[in-house]
Chains A and B, each alone.
Chain A
Amino acid sequence: MELIKELTLQEKLHILADAAKYDVACTSSGVDRKGKEGYLGNSRACGICHSFAADGRCISLLKVLMTNHCVYDCKYCLNRVSNDTVRTAFTPQELCELTIEFYKRNYIEGLFLSSGIQKNPTYTMEKMCEALELLRTTYRFNGYIHVKAVPGAPDELITRAGYLADRMSINLELPTAESMKKLAPNKSFSTILKPMRKVTNTIASHRLAQGKSAYLERSTSNQYLSGSIFSENQRRISGASGVGEEKKDLLTISGREHQKLLNRPFAAAGQSTQMIIGATQETDYHLLKTTQSLYQKFDLKRVFFSAYVPLNEDSALPSLDTKPPLLREHRLYQADWLLRYYGFQADELLSEDKPNFNEQLDPKCDWALRHLERFPIEINTAPYEDILRIPGVGPKSAARIIQARRFGSIDFDHLKKMGVVLKRAHYFITCNGRMMYHIPIEESYITRQLTSVEYKENWELKHQQGYRQMSLFSDFGVQA
């Protein structure tokens, strides 16, 4: 297998973007940075999507691999060594020019750089650092950079990458050691968790040094919730307890080296990871518990889920005609939001006895139906955390309700304009003691109503590929 050098830039871009597209993290959020004269770029904490591809996923960053050459043989991956595909690599200059020119035309928010393992992790990470350093210094790029840390690369290189990038990620891919052994024989849990821990600690110590809290900023709704997964008594990262006491788990850099890297903060937008779902037997409960502990123990900014798309034929994998479990992925993301914005705990949503989500109902409705004794909730008097638990009410509309009701009583009309989704919410609320319609608060009745409201949406999510609208003209040859 040798690198092919004669490909045009367009062909290279095609190969290396095609190989990178299964990575889901394409956010440009988490850090606010002003532009500087003489430099190109800034960054906004809310993140900016620049386009939406035909699959409906946002395109925010130029998501490419440094090279698709790989010595590993992970069963699920397109780039595994046993696949016979065209291999190529970007030169650092090519990558920089692409990023800069795309950025100036406002196509992208920055660069997402991942890579196959060329020769060994050290060589690979060195190449990536070289490209990033060129981009930050010579090309004076001040926009967003998301970089993958290659498990097994030496600390110095991960440190360098962290100081050049805004976000770092190390993909867990499989949530148990067992599945990892089966599907990714060259990786192990410890080679992934160890660098992840070090990155977490380094981010925390940097934040402390800047006078911020050790933990990353979270949605403001969490400040008003006592039982959220981000409340003080629930999360623990070792780096926050005392800086310096665990030097060996910290990535350090000399002052001169740091100066060379423009004195940038270490991965200011935090760390993220992703897990494949549907390739192995883990339940939703297991995945959600893992997610929660990653948020609490590693202070990850995001955990992403990727519905497994079969690319390779292998006895250890689902067969090639398996459809990607899109609805399941959707439910997991909904639950992830409930953890991060709504003060839910994984154990409230699922349990050992009920380890998977109900596909017909979103997790919040599902939870509400199992806790009908807490409803209906009176909009004009209920506390914030109760209002946030009503299906159809989000953090923004909840905040608006709390503000507006101090000045006068709120009615269903107002709720609608504030952004509450009444078609879901009205089963669970009263305004001034009255419900919107005269209906029984009864589990089977409301379940039936809610599933019929969402039936069409769910069906379409599940059958995205399998159906299309019939047309008189193309299917039956009717002439206009």
Chain B
Amino acid sequence: MYIYTCEEDFESMMTCIYDVWADRRGSQNVRLELEPVGQQELFSTYIRVLRDDTKAAKVIASIQKKISPEAYRQVYLAAMSDAGDRLDVIYRFLLLGFAYGGAVTKRLADAPVMRLFELSRRTGNDMHYYREFTRFVRIEPGIYVAHIEPACNVAVLAAAHFADRMPSEYWMIVDDKRSLAVVHPKDEEYYVTPLSKEELKKLQTIEKQRDIYTDLWKEFFETIAIKERENPRCQRTHMPLHYRKHVTEFM
């Protein structure tokens, strides 16, 4: 068994798939894993793949052209999920994809297609949750800062939504878990930047700030519930506890 490993970013994953393909060892004889690798197997050969943007671009282009844009969308979303087997699933899906073409995304009775669909749905749902539950805090003179800790890597995906929504505001979304920040300057494109430990620490103190509108919002939130219909279980179903960590009305 040959085990290919690479880092967690999307380009590295695509490079890894390129190399597996080029080495022609046969799909039964390879497995793809993400670093850090845990327990190593005794009788397997480990091959470490390093990010190569030209190889990655080739893989992306052929998924879009030879399979379909929908397949690429699902692959990207699956790559952003938090499942440990995601890289291997993407590889097995692409094997079928290059054989069947665009219709592959509909073949849910095939195990790799179903698994990829599950992963992409998972990321998609998570992305939607963060459209709903991301909360910004205002710091003077008018910058809005949000903190999130998503299971899947959705900060950039959710940011596209906020860029459309608030094009003429300064805002940033900080992913506390991955030390990433999406920064959006007024009337410009947004960009992603990694954060140092000190920067992250400084940003985290902002979250506790309160102003008149946080108080007003809490007042509204308490008031709008109908006492006679109280139902914490229903509330928990729609808004699971782990999403509430950075939500103003629950802090």
A residues in contact (CB < 8 Å) with B: 9-10, 13-14, 17-18, 20-22, 34-42, 48-59, 62-63, 98, 101-102, 104-107, 143, 307, 309, 323-324, 326, 400, 403-411, 414, 417-418, 460, 464-465
Contact = CB atoms under 8 A, between A and B. Distances in A.
Contact of A106 (B108, B118, B136): B136
Contacts of A35: 163-167
Contacts of A411: 109
B229 A324 contact: yes
Interface residues of B, number: 56
Contacts of A9: 212, 216
21 contacts: A17-B219, A21-B225, A35-B167, A37-B187, A39-B167, A40-B168, A49-B132, A51-B249, A53-B225, A54-B230, A56-B231, A62-B220, A98-B216, A102-B213, A104-B138, A106-B134, A107-B135, A404-B109, A405-B109, A407-B107, A408-B107
Interface in B162-196: 162-169, 187
B156 interface: no
A15 to B, nearest CB: 9
Nearest to A15: B223
A59 B225 CA distance: 9
A19 B118 CA distance: 43
B112 to A, nearest CB: 12
Nearest to B171: A104
Contacts of A55: 225-227, 229-231, 234-235
A14 B163 CA distance: 32
A63 B108 contact: no
A104 B166 contact: yes
A104 B168 contact: no
Contact of A13 (B164, B216, B239): B216
B157 to A, nearest CB: 14
B167 A37 contact: yes
Nearest to A310: B228
Contacts of A62: 220
A406 B100 CA distance: 13
A39 B226 contact: no
Contacts of A464: 229-231
A466 B220 CA distance: 26
A311 B227 CA distance: 12
A17 B233 CA distance: 23
Contacts of A404: 106-109
**Secondary structure at chain A's binding surface: helix, strand, loop or mixed?**
loop
Interface in B229-251: 229-235, 237-239, 247-249
A34 to B, nearest CB: 6
Contact of B168 (A39, A50, A407, A408): A39
A212 to B, nearest CB: 23
A465 B228 contact: yes
Given A14-B219, A324-B228, A50 B108 contact: no
B216 A50 contact: no
A472 B216 CA distance: 38
A105 B136 contact: yes
Nearest to A97: B213
B168 A37 contact: yes
Contacts of B237: 56
A355 to B, nearest CB: 25
B118 A58 contact: no
Contact of B103 (A40, A53, A326, A407): A407
A51 B217 CA distance: 11
B217 A107 contact: yes
Given A17-B223, A411-B109, 15 more contacts: A21-B226, A22-B226, A40-B165, A50-B132, A53-B224, A55-B231, A56-B231, A56-B235, A59-B224, A104-B136, A105-B136, A107-B217, A404-B107, A404-B109, A406-B106
Contact of A53 (B110, B131, B132, B221): B221
A63 B138 contact: no
A48 B118 CA distance: 22
A56 B233 contact: yes
Contacts of A48: 128, 131-132
Nearest to B130: A106
A400 B249 CA distance: 38
B60 interface: no
A106 B224 contact: no
